[in-house]
Amino acid sequence: MIRIACRQLAPVIPDLAGNVERSVAAVRESVAAGARLVVLPELVTTGYMFSSQEEARSVAVTTDHPVFAQWALAVAGVDGVVVGGFAELGADGLVYNSLAVVDGSGVLGSYRKTHLWDREKLVFTPGSAVPPVVDTPLGRLGVLICYDLEFPEMTRSLALRGAELIVVPTNWPRETVPEGERVPEVTVAMAAAYTNHVGVVCCDRSGIERGQDWNEASSIINEHGWVVATADASGIAMADLDLLRSRDKTITPLCDAFGDRRPELYSEVVAPR
C-alpha cells in the first residue's frame, strides 16, 4: 500500500521563487503526514493565466532548476516520488506546459503536454512525444497533464504499456454541475480507471487567478473506478492505494479488460467526413 497525497496549491504569476517555496513546503508536509507519492498541480511553479507567451517565458525553467533538487531532497528519506507541473524552457527556445517525475535521486522523467486547452495554444508549444511510463521506487507511473486525460487513447496507451498508476496534474476551470454530480473531468478519470483497471490520481489547484477560479476537485481513484479520496477543506486529498492490483485486469472469471479486446475490429482510423 502506498499513501498518496494531492496538494491543491494556488501559485501566483509571476512569483517563481514564492511558488517554488510553497511547492517544496507542500511536499515536506505531505511526507511528514506519511505520503510517499506527492502530486502537485499543473504549472505549480508558475501559475496558469498567462497574458502572453513572453510572460510564461519569464518564469519558464529547465529540468536542471533547483526546485527539482529540493523536491528530491524532501522525499529522499522515504524513498518517495513527486509529480508536479512547471513551465519548461526547451533547448529549442520554445515554452512547454510540462511535468517532472522526481524521486530522491533527482528527475526520473518529464513530459510535455500534448493536448493544449483553449488559450494555452497562444502561450505554449504542444509536446510531440508519447507520454512516458516511468519506473519509480513506488511502481510504474504513467503521466498526463489535464486535458490529455479527455483523450481515451492516452490513458489506454499508458495502461497497455504497463502503467500501474496514472498521475495527472491539472488546472480545471470552475464549472457548474447538476446537484449530486461530479465535475465532468472526474467522471472521465473514473471511466479511465474502470475501463483500464488502473488507479488514476488527479491533482487540481485552488485560488482565484486573474478572475479565474477552479473546481478544486482533486481526486484519488482506485483501479475499480471508485473515488476513494477528494480534497478536504485544507486542499489535501490523501489515500492509500495498492498499485499491484492494477496489474490484474480480471473483471470476472470469464472477462478480462485487456484479454477481451478486439483491436482488429476498431483500430482502423476513420477519415473525417
The set of catalytic residues is 42, 113, 146
Amino acid at 258: F
Residue pair 27/71 in contact by the 8 Å Cβ criterion: yes
191 residue type, one letter: A
Amino acid at 120: E
Cell of 179: 446537484
Q: How far apart (Å, rounded) are the C-alpha atoms in residues 238 and 224?
A: 18
Burial class (CB in 10 A: 0-12, 13-18, 19+), 15: middle
In the chain, where does DSSP find H-type helix? Answer: 16-32, 53-59, 66-76, 152-160, 184-196, 263-266
Cell of 269: 482510423
